[in-house]
């Protein structure tokens, strides 16, 4: 395994929600694609100081899977932490 260098423009991508408080995956992917098309080098998805802490592990996993499939997974770094000691990744 080799270490990747992180550099350039890293965009912290917000997680949009629908009116019924579910993650709006389509809007998320649209915004992520726009960021990459406009010159961002990397996307920071589900950063631990943002709205990711309000999501369940199932919701975070689903968004990570959608991001990996619908965006350039090689240009992404994903937050996997949580401040809640009771929550764990699936």
**pLDDT tens digits, one per residue of 8-60:** 899 888 999 999 989 999 999 999 999 999 999 999 998 766 788 888 888 88
How many Å apart are CA 38 and CA 35, to the nearest integer? 5
Cβ–Cβ < 8 Å for 43, 34: no
Cβ–Cβ < 8 Å for 21, 62: no
pLDDT in tens, 60-73: 889 989 998 998 77
pTM of the complete model: 0.79
């Amino acid at each position: 395994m080799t270490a990747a260098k992180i550099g350039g423009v890293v965009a912290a991508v917000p997680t949009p929600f629908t009116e019924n408080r579910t993650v709006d995956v389509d809007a998320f992917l649209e915004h992520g694609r726009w960021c990459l098309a406009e010159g961002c080098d990397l996307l920071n998805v589900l950063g631990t100081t943002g709205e990711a802490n309000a999501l369940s592990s199932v919701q975070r996993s689903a968004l990570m899977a959608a991001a990996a499939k619908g965006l350039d997974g090689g240009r992404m770094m994903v937050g996997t932490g949580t401040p809640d000691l009771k929550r764990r990744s699936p």
